[in-house]
Amino acid sequence: MGLSLIPLLISRSNTVNFFQRRTGKELWKTITSVSKSGQKKGRRATRQQVRPVDRFYRIGASAMNVKFPGLNVPPMPSIAEAKEVQRQEPMKLLEQSEEDMKAQLGKIRTTLEDLGTRKRRNREKLHPLERGFSGTQIVGQKLGSPPPAEDVKFDDFESYCLEVKRTSNMTRVFGRVHTMSALVVTGNGCGVGGYAVGKAPIHQTNKAIVNAMNQAARKLFFVELLEGRTIYQDFYAECRNTRVFAQRRPEGFGLSCHPRLQKICEAIGIKDIYVKVEGSTKNYLALTHAFVTGLQNQETHQQLAERKGLNVVEMRPGRHYLPQIIASPITKEVAKEEDLPPLDVEMKLGRAFSFWVVRRRSSDRLLMKRR
């Protein structure tokens, strides 16, 4: 064995560096991660997003258009075939033209624009009457019918979102836990309605609304409507610091009330009503509960006649305030004036509210003044 006269030189080359020891996911995490305290201060929105570099920067591509088998072109099946291809087609170094470079940059720009517009929601232009309470927000818009529950379909129902807000709960283990809360009312427009509150994890508004729709479809109630358009009697109801005064109105009056109550009336089927709200007008859950409680506690004309044992009489200006019986007791006879208890002032003096009695009294007063 012969020895070489060329001296042996050992040179160390470090082929492993920081970028080779870490994966791409770990490298992106160094500039995109935000601490817990930073998330509470809103720093997550200002952090740079992860860019898919591999989509428009191919490894091995350069301005010289060099083909490397196995890197930027498919590998050769065998070494012999690779040598044969290299002998027939020697490697050529072709520099990219300006047009090719501009096309490559345009491709990168197009990819980034598509990536940015993909996250945008395609919002359809709604009719002004179908918009919500404020701009394009979902609060106040129609949500459609609730999903079926146990083979029961709600095709003729319509749902409205009354409120969407963020709630928080302080826990011992996880600290302050935020959730999304949604208030939804649903109804078929014929006296049947329901409302419920749905909750979901933070930033999942749609899930909270869907949960509220499912719960509202399972908590339905029925409201008696006069002529299918208004309430039977004026009522007062309250919940917490919210007070509601509702009055019956003639046909064609419309809905003169709180915007949230308008959606509730549309869901139930009320077309003519006047409602005055006092106290807290922004506690929408208390407002809804007070109004629905007042609707359920009202009496129909027949129920009033059965309870009082008297005829229910209606006097309209179109009939010159002549009385017209609209309900009479069925289970018992109509009580006579002699049978009424003397302490029941409402029954004894009920005729004092008649138009003709008031008119006769006013004429008597004029005669007394003339005398």
In sequence order, what DSSP letters do the residues of 302-323 get, joined into one string?
HHHHHHHTS-EEE--GGGTT--
Question: What's the gap between Cα 270 and its chain centre?
Answer: 22
Q: CA–CA separation, 221 vs 58, rounded Å? A: 63
Range of the domain at 106: 56-115
The CATH number linked to 201 is 3.30.160.20
Summary mean pLDDT of the chain: 82
Q: What does pTM read for this prediction?
A: 0.63
Q: How many structural domains comprise the chain? A: 3
146 and 111 within one domain: no
Residue 119's SS3 state is: coil
The answer to whether position 201 is within a domain reads: yes
Predicted confidence band at 367 (pLDDT cuts at 50, 70, 90)?
very low
111 and 161 within one domain: no
- Specify the pLDDT at position 84: 74
Task: Please say whether the beta carbons of 121 and 192 come within 8 A.
Answer: no
147 and 75 within one domain: no
211 and 147 within one domain: yes
Residues 6+ apart with CB under 8 A from 264: 160, 162, 185, 187, 193, 195, 288, 291, 292
The answer to whether position 9 is within a domain reads: no
> What's the rounded mean pLDDT across residues 75-96?
67
The answer to whether position 1 is within a domain reads: no
Radius of gyration of the chain (CA): 39
The alpha carbon dihedral of 299, 302, 307, 311 has a sign of positive
Task: Please say whether the beta carbons of 142 and 159 come within 8 A.
Answer: yes
Domain C-terminal end among 201, 222, 243: 222
Predicted confidence band at 289 (pLDDT cuts at 50, 70, 90)?
very high
Taking only the tens place, the pLDDT of each residue in 314-327 is 888 888 889 899 99
**pLDDT of 271 higher than 70:** yes
Residue 60's SS3 state is: coil
Taking only the tens place, the pLDDT of each residue in 94-112 is 566 777 777 766 776 676 6
Task: Please say whether the beta carbons of 299 and 231 come within 8 A.
Answer: no
- Specify the pLDDT at position 56: 63
**pLDDT of 300 higher than 90:** yes
Taking only the tens place, the pLDDT of each residue in 215-268 is 999 999 999 999 999 999 999 999 999 999 999 999 999 999 999 999 999 999
The answer to whether position 160 is within a domain reads: yes
